[in-house]
Amino acid sequence: MKVQGLNIDDVARQFGTPLYLYDGDTIIRQVESLKKAFDGADLRIKYASKALTNISILKLLQKNGVGVDAVSINEAKLAITAGHRAEDINFTPSCVDFSEIKEAVDLRLNVNLDNLPILEKFGKEYGNRYPVGIRLNPHIMAGGNIKISTGHVNSKFGISIQQLDQIRATIDKYNIVLQGLHIHTGSEIIETEVFMQMSDIFFGIAKDFKDLKFIDFGGGFKVAYKKGDKVTDLPAIGSQLAKKFSDFEKETGRHLQLWIEPGKYLVSEAGYLVARTNVVKETPTLTFVGLDTGLNHLIRPMMYNSYHEIVNISNPDGATKTYTVVGNICETDTLGSDRELNEVREGDLIVLKNGGAYGYSMASNYNSRFRPAEVLVLNGRAHLIRERDTLEDLLRGQKDVIG
C-alpha cells in the first residue's frame, strides 16, 4: 500500500508504530473540490481545526486559501502560530467563561456567540465597538450519530430560533453590530434538504439585520468510510445555495459571503493509523488481532460506533479470514468486529483508514501509553510533523510532594 508512491511499510520502518500518516495531496484535493462545488458563491472556507490541529496541517491549509474555525482559544492561538491571520479565524466556542471571549476579541478574531447570557455580557462590555456573530439552533435533527448532532431542539449548542425576539431585544438594547449568522447541525449530513432548510431560516432572519456580512452553514459533510457509502452531494448543495445567495442579493441589494466549516471532509480520508500486530489470539468463538494501538489513539469506534476500513498490508495476497481487531488497552477497545482480512500474522502491519479526523486530536495517554508520531507526506517525501511521546512527556508537569 502506497501514499504518493511511498510504501507505507517503509514509512513505518523509518518512524515506528503506531503512526499517524497523512497524505497532503488528499487534503489539497478536498479543498479544491469544495471551491469547485461552491463556485457560484462568494465562499470562505474555515477549517474546523478540532479535527486535527497539527500546525503543519494548519499551515498547509492556509497556503491553499483556507481559514480556521476554532472552538477554543488555544485552537485559535495554534492557528495564529501556523500563520493564519486573525481576520481569517472564526471563534465559535460553547459554554466558555466570558474571559475567553474577551481574549478572542483582544486577538481580533471573528467571534460567534451561542447563548443569551454571553450575548448580554458582550453587549454590556463592547456595545457597538466590536462586531459579533450568533450561532443559532435551528431545531433540525441531522448527522450520523446523536453525539454529533448539534442542531436539534435539546442540543446545548446555539441560541434557539424560538428565542429570536430575545436576540433582537439584546442587540437593540446594546446597539450590537451583528455581522454573521451561524448554524452547524451536525456531522456526516447526507441530506441536501438539511442545508436548504438552514438557508430558509437564515434568509428569513437576515433581512432584519442590516450589518450582516456573512452566513455560516457550518460543516458536517460526509465522506465515505467504506465502499458504497452515500456521501454529501456537494455540487447540488453548492449550486442551490449559490442561487439563494444571488436571489437574496437581487431582492435586497445586499451582498453576503457564504462561509462553511469543514473538518472531517478535509482531513479524514487523508489519514491512516498504521499499527503493528502484537498477537493473533485464537479463542473458541473468535480470532483476535491485537495491535500496538487502541482507543487511546482512535476512540471513534468506541465513542461513535464509527466504521474504519482495516487492511493487512504485510500479507496482501494471503487467504482471507474473519478477525476481530482490538487494541492493547485495558478496556474493551474493539476497532473492528468480524472483519475479512488477508491472513494476519504476528508482526504484520495493519492500516486503519480514515484516520485523519478526530484521531490524534482525541488521542490520550490512557494506560500511560505514548501518543503516536505524526508524519505528513508532501511532494512524495515523508516528513515527521510530531514526535512520539516519551516518558518525559508523561512526567511533564507532575510534582513529587512525597519526597
Catalytic residues: 330
Q: How far is residue 219 from each of residues 105, 114, 336, measured CA to CA in Å?
A: 24, 16, 27
Give CA–CA dist 79/101, Å, rounded: 17
Return the C-alpha cell found at 155. 442540543
Cβ(202)–Cβ(169) below 8 Å: no
Q: Is 69 exposed, middle or buried (0-12, 13-18, 19+ CB in 10 A)?
A: buried
Give CA–CA dist 37/138, Å, rounded: 24
Return the C-alpha cell found at 237. 448543495
Return the C-alpha cell found at 61. 491549509
Cβ(241)–Cβ(258) below 8 Å: yes
8-13 CB contacts, 8 Å cutoff, 24+ apart? 8/272, 8/274, 8/313, 8/349, 8/351, 9/313, 9/314, 9/349, 11/274, 11/375, 11/377, 11/382, 12/274, 12/276, 12/349
Direct distance between the N- and C-terminal alpha carbons of the chain, in angstroms, rounded to an integer: 51
Question: What kind and span of H or E run contains 170?
Answer: helix 164-174
Phi, psi of 148 (to 5 degrees): -115, 20
Number of H helices, E strands in the chain: 12, 20
Give CA–CA dist 40/238, Å, rounded: 8
Q: Output Rg (C-alpha) for the chain, integer angstroms.
A: 23
Question: What is the DSSP secondary structure assignment for residue 225, as one 8-state letter?
Answer: S
